[in-house]
Amino acid sequence: MNKNQENWDLVIEPQGSLLNLGIKELLRYKDLLEMFVRRDIVTLYKQTVLGPLWYVIQPLFTTIMFMFVFGNIAGIPTDGIPQPLFYMAGILCWNYFSECLIRTSDTFLTNQNIFGKVYFPRMIVPLSVTISSLLKFLIQLALFIVLYIYFFATGKHVSPNMYAFLFPLLLLMLAGLGLGFGILFSAMTTKYRDLKFLLAFGVQLWMYATPIIYPLSIMERQYSKYMWIISYNPVTPIIETFKYGFLGEGIFSWGSLTYSFIFTIAILLTGTIVFNKIERNFMDVV
């Protein structure tokens, strides 16, 4: 048959634009996305005794450890907020961001066998991680709400305000930052494997540059010369806004939140460009 007369039902070609998010294609594969999300949830704690209870145990024990080490031994104040609420609020947000980042950073390496055998939009894998991690976040949020109601009912120093309504935006920004950084690192680690170890170490240091174990106010008063590090951290305004909205203490700034929002868009676009570029020939690299 003449080559010009061949008719194909489906033709798979590289994306024409590096900025192409492939929204229509992702919607066409929504059943596959749902399957990946279910796989991530089921296999994470499969064959464990406590199963999903680890979603609650991990932040609870981390909060207790922070209360003992940083609250009692180090004596770091929490601006009058009950320690369990203060630490849980930071841990809640940070866990979702860091899990999205770390788990999506292995997209190409952990799925190279699947990617080499069958075609589907590669962006489905990091998206499924972001969505499945959301379930863990919501369970931990329920734990935070239980603690919140208890301290609020007992008359402790918590005063929610209108900025709590920014919560959906803050959640989207955390997901966007985690996804953006994750797909960026996943693309780079196909060639530079050392970045995987650097990322694991860097995320631990990053947490200490985020106001989770200390209030931002104490940094401004006592360590003002280091404030630029925390100020340029895009996660800082998100966590501070969350604490300010729900707990009534902290430092809120529309300028800082706008900076974090713009940074989120920028890292998502950068990650998408690099991800789409590597996607075309990553099998030749790995």
| 29 lies in some domain | no
| 112 lies in some domain | yes
Q: Which residue has the higher pLDDT, 24 or 68?
A: 68
| 194 lies in some domain | yes
Contact 104, 182 (CB under 8 A): yes
Mean pLDDT for the stretch of residues 47-53: 65
Mean pLDDT for the stretch of residues 136-141: 90
Mean pLDDT for the stretch of residues 183-194: 81
| 7 lies in some domain | no
CA 128 from chain centre, in angstroms, equals 12
**Counted domains in the chain:** 1
pLDDT tens sequence across 220-260: 888 888 888 898 999 999 999 999 999 988 889 999 999 99
SS3 123: coil
Range of the domain at 110: 51-285
pTM for this predicted structure: 0.86
pLDDT tens sequence across 78-127: 888 999 999 999 999 999 999 999 988 887 777 777 776 777 778 888 88
Cα angle for residues 280, 133, 138 (degrees, 5° grid): 150
So what's the pLDDT on residue 1?
Answer: 47
| 212 lies in some domain | yes
| 108 lies in some domain | yes
Mean pLDDT for the stretch of residues 126-151: 90
| 220 lies in some domain | yes
How many C-alpha atoms does 141 have within 13 Å on its Cβ side? 13
| 105 lies in some domain | yes
Count of positions (residues) in the chain: 286
